[in-house]
Amino acid sequence: TQLLEQSPQFLSIQEGENLTVYCNSSSVFSSLQWYRQEPGEGPVLLVTVVTGGEVKKLKRLTFQFGDARKDSSLHITAAQPGDTGLYLCAGSHAGGTSYGKLTFGQGTILTVHP
Amino acid sequence: EAGVTQFPSHSVIEKGQTVTLRCDPISGHDNLYWYRRVMGKEIKFLLHFVKESKQDESGMPNNRFLAERTGGTYSTLKVQPAELEDSGVYFCASSRGLINEQFFGPGTRLTVL
The pLDDT of A89-97, averaged and rounded, is 81
Q: Please provide the DSSP assignment of B15-47 as one string.
A: TT--EEEEEEPPTT--EEEEEEE-TTS--EEEE
pLDDT at A2 over 80: no
Which residues between 12 and 31 in chain B have a beta carbon less than 8 angstroms from any beta carbon of chain A?
31
Contact map slice: A 14-43 vs B, CB within 8 A = 40-43
Note whether A48 contacts B: Cβ–Cβ < 8 A: yes
**A85 in contact with chain B, both atoms CB, cutoff 8 A:** no
Q: Do A4 and B42 touch (CB under 8 A)?
A: yes
> To the nearest whole angstrom, how far is the Cα of B82 from the nearest Cα of chain A?
23
Residue B51 has pLDDT above 70, yes or no: yes
Distance from CA of B34 to the nearest CA of A (A): 10
The contacts of residue B15 (CB under 8 Å, 6+ apart) are B81, B82, B83, B84, B112, B113
State whether residue A3 sits within 8 Å of chain B by CB. Answer: no
Identify the H or E element spanning B70: none
A46, A35 contact by CB (below 8 A): yes
B59-87: per-residue pLDDT in tens? Answer: 999 999 999 998 889 999 999 999 999 99
- pLDDT for position B21: 98
B56 touches chain A (CB under 8 A): yes
Distance CA A63, CA B37 (A): 25
Q: Which residues contact A59 (CB under 8 A, 6 or more apart)?
A: none
* Chain B environment of A49 (Cβ under 8 Å): none
Instruction: Indicate whether B104 pLDDT > 70.
Output: yes
Do residue A44 and residue B104 have CB atoms under 8 angstroms apart? Answer: yes
Rounded to the nearest integer, the mean pLDDT of chain B is 95
Query: Is residue A20 a contact partner of residue A37, using CB atoms and an 8 Å limit?
Result: no
